[in-house]
Structure 1
Amino acid sequence: MIAAYFQSLGLFDREEITQIVQLFEYKKLNKNDFFVKENQPCNEVAFIASGIFRSYYNSSNAEDVTYCFRFPNSLIAAYSSFITGGPSVESMQAISPAELWVIKKSAIDKLAAESLVWTKYLRMIAEQQYLELEKRIFQLQKETALQRYTVLLRDQPEFVRQIPLQYLSSYLGITQRHLSRIRNEITF
């Protein structure tokens, strides 16, 4: 699965992919376990083989605010903490049992120092993170909660029903009651 991910990028040859895959360690998390906790440094990146994660932060009035979900076949890391080495401003929690393939920052740094292809890959990841952040900002400013929910349903239909309503409503920026009304409006 992780080899297929790297192969799909079209950056690495077969031998490089074999070497990369050997640097990852398998990790299993239970529902509600954390990949990263707020105020702790993030010194690894994981490929999600199975499971769903939510990224959230605590607001000034001590409410947790879900701002992102991560699904299988994607990467997860507290990106700003990973880059700076400082404490994470977010927590990343499994909302279902999850299987990960994890690589340490030290291994990534070594690969980047030895390979221009890795430098290109890391730039690509940084660009994807930027675009994702921009998309999220525009969603919150331009789209209604119904539109945001519809996009999430379109992009991840098999997983949305597994996300608890309190996390979905937080992600959409609405109350659970409003989310229930939206769900009733949409015909499946």
Structure 2
Amino acid sequence: MLAAYFRSLGLFNPEEITEIVQLFEFRRLNKNDYFVKENQPCNEVAFIASGIFRSYYTTSSAEDVTYCFRFPNSLIAAYSSFITGGPSVETMQALSPAELWVIKKSAIDKLAVESLVWTKYLKMIAEQQYLELEKRIFQLQKETALQRYTVLLRDQPEFVQQIPLQYLASYLGITQRHLSRIRSEITF
């Protein structure tokens, strides 16, 4: 699965993929385990082989606000902490049992020094992160909760039903009651 991900990018040759994959270690997380916690540094990135994650932060009034979900075949990291080495402003929690392929920051930094192709890959990841952030901002400012929920259902239909309602409502910026009304209005 991990090798297939790197092949799909069209950047790396088979030998490079073999070398890169060997730098990852396999890890299992149970439901509710954490990949990274708020105020701790994030010094690794993971490819999600299976499982669902939520990213959230805690407000000054101790409320958890879910701002992102991660699904299989995607990467997960507290990106700003990973870049700066500082403490994470977010927590990443498994919402289901999960299997990850994890690589340390030190290995990524070494690859970036040794490989121009890896540098291109890191640039591509940074661009994807920017586009994802921009999309999220525009969703929150321009779309209704119903539109945001419909997009999530369209993009991840097999996983949305596994996400607890309180996290979905938080992600959408609405109450659980409002989410229940939205769900009752949608017919497929």
TM-score (norm 1): 1.00
Q: What is the match of residue 81 of structure 2?
A: 81
Structure 1: state its 5+ residue gaps. Answer: none
Q: What is the match of residue 160 of structure 1?
A: 160
1:35 alignment partner AA: F
| 2:41 corresponds to 1:22 | no
2:177 alignment partner AA: R
Q: What is the match of residue 136 of structure 2?
A: 136
Question: In the aligned structure 2, how far is the partner of 1:162 from the partner of 1:148?
Answer: 17
Question: In the aligned structure 2, how far is the partner of 1:23 from the partner of 1:123?
Answer: 20
1:26 alignment partner AA: F
Q: Secondary structure at the match of 1:16?
A: helix
Q: What is the match of residue 11 of structure 1?
A: 11
Query: What percent identity do the matched residue pairs reach?
Result: 90
Question: In the aligned structure 1, how far is the partner of 2:187 from the partner of 2:61?
Answer: 36
Deviations for 1:75-107, whole angstroms, at most 9, x for unmatched residues? 000000000000000000000000000000000
Q: Secondary structure at the match of 1:169?
A: helix
Q: What is the match of residue 98 of structure 1?
A: 98
Q: How does 1:32-181 map to 2 (within 5 A)?
A: 32-181=32-181
Structure 1 residue 36: Cα displacement: 0.2
2:62 alignment partner AA: A
Structure 1 residue 154: Cα displacement: 0.2
Question: In the aligned structure 2, how far is the partner of 1:94 from the partner of 1:58?
Answer: 17
1:2 alignment partner AA: L
Question: In the aligned structure 2, how far is the partner of 1:13 from the partner of 1:115?
Answer: 12
Q: Secondary structure at the match of 1:149?
A: helix
Structure 2: state its 5+ residue gaps. Answer: none
Question: In the aligned structure 2, how far is the partner of 1:35 from the partner of 1:95?
Answer: 11
Question: In the aligned structure 2, how far is the partner of 1:94 from the partner of 1:171?
Answer: 15
Aligned length: 188
Question: In the aligned structure 2, how far is the partner of 1:62 from the partner of 1:40?
Answer: 17
TM-score (norm 2): 1.00
Structure 1 residue 146: Cα displacement: 0.1
